[in-house]
Amino acid sequence: MPTIVSVDDSTVPGEGSSRLLLLVSSDNKHIVVEEDIMSRSRFISKQVEGFEATSQRHAILLPFSSFVLNKVIEYCSHYRGYYLLEDDPDAAPPGRSPVREWDQEFLDVDRNMLLRIIKAAHYLEIKSLVGSCARAIADMIRGKTTEEMREILGVENDFTPEEEHSPSSKCTG
């Protein structure tokens, strides 16, 4: 759970038509963003519901850097007001995320950044972004050997030599 700190109402105007949220990244950058933009995040929505229950607005501390957070905000801003099936909690989730051209350009980033974005999207519960990142990562490792996959995603082989050569793990998958 994130740490929540109380904020002065003068810092974050919480009433009126343009309600704002204060997001604080792990590198202690304060980012003010319209609540409407971040409504795609189930996590943020739940936090806001909590604010409404207690009639107090807070800053939301998030466990990732401002660089990653800004990227997520850029995604949410782009799809502001759009209906995306994957983000509808009432809709049956699609098996695979649809290909969206803008997402492909948006996620044309280096591997480290992509992994950080998907982790942040998972934390913020933005399913559409998780899906698009998952598709991008899958494309990176599709058709690669296990060794290449480890190298691409920085994963360490922690199988014992016995496990690695056992029929249950090697021959049949």
Partner 1 sequence: MGDRPLSSILPAPNLPELPELPAQVLQDIFRHLCHHPMAIGPHHSFNPRWISVTHVCRRWRKAALDNPCLWVHLPIQSEPLTQMMLERSRSEAVFVEFHTEDRGVDDNLVLRLAALVTRARSFCVTASISFLSALIGQPRFSCSAPHLRTLELLPLEDMPSGTSPSQLLSRLDSGDGEEDTLTSDMRNLNLVKHPPMVAMLNFFKTNRGGIECLKLGFLDSSPFLALPSSPIRHMFLPYLKQMHLDSSYRVCHNILSQVIVPPSTELKLRLRGVQDLVLFSEIVALRFGRAKTFTNLPLESITCSLTPTGETIWSFIGYPPMAIMPASGGVQMVASVYSKTAGETWHLALSELSRSVGLENVNSMNIYMHAAWTKDQHTLLTSVLQTIPKLRRLAIDTDSLPGLDVDMAALALHIPQLHILEFVGIVDESQVEAKKHELELQYTAMARARTKAGMSTFSCRWRPRGGWEVIVLTENLDTDAPPLQLPNQSSQLTSLPDSVASHYAQQRCKFLLELHKFWAAGKTPLPTALTGFRYPEGYPHQPSWPHVKPIAIGVVRLGDTLNIDLFQLFTVVRAHGGGLKVSKIHGHDHAVQCSCSRH
Binding residues for partner 1 (CB under 8 A): 27, 65-67, 70-71, 73-74, 77, 90, 95-97, 111-113, 115-116, 118-119, 122, 130-131, 134-135, 137-139, 141-143, 145-146, 149-150, 153-159, 164, 169-170, 172-173
Smallest gap from residue 31 Cβ to partner 1 (A): 8
Nearer to partner 1 by C-beta: 54 or 92?
A: 92
Nearer to partner 1 by C-beta: 55 or 92?
A: 92
DSSP string spanning 120-165?
A: HHHHHT-HHHHHHHHHHHHHHHTT--HHHHHHHHT------HHHHH
Q: Which of 144, 44, 42, 156 is nearest to 93 (CA)?
A: 42
Contact 40/128 with Cβ under 8 angstroms?
yes
Nearer to partner 1 by C-beta: 47 or 97?
A: 97
Smallest gap from residue 56 Cβ to partner 1 (A): 26
Quote the crossing angle between the two packed helices 111-124 and 127-141, to the nearest 10°. 150
Smallest gap from residue 32 Cβ to partner 1 (A): 10
Give, for 61, the enclosing helix (H) or strand (E).
Answer: strand 58-61
Nearer to partner 1 by C-beta: 54 or 172?
A: 172
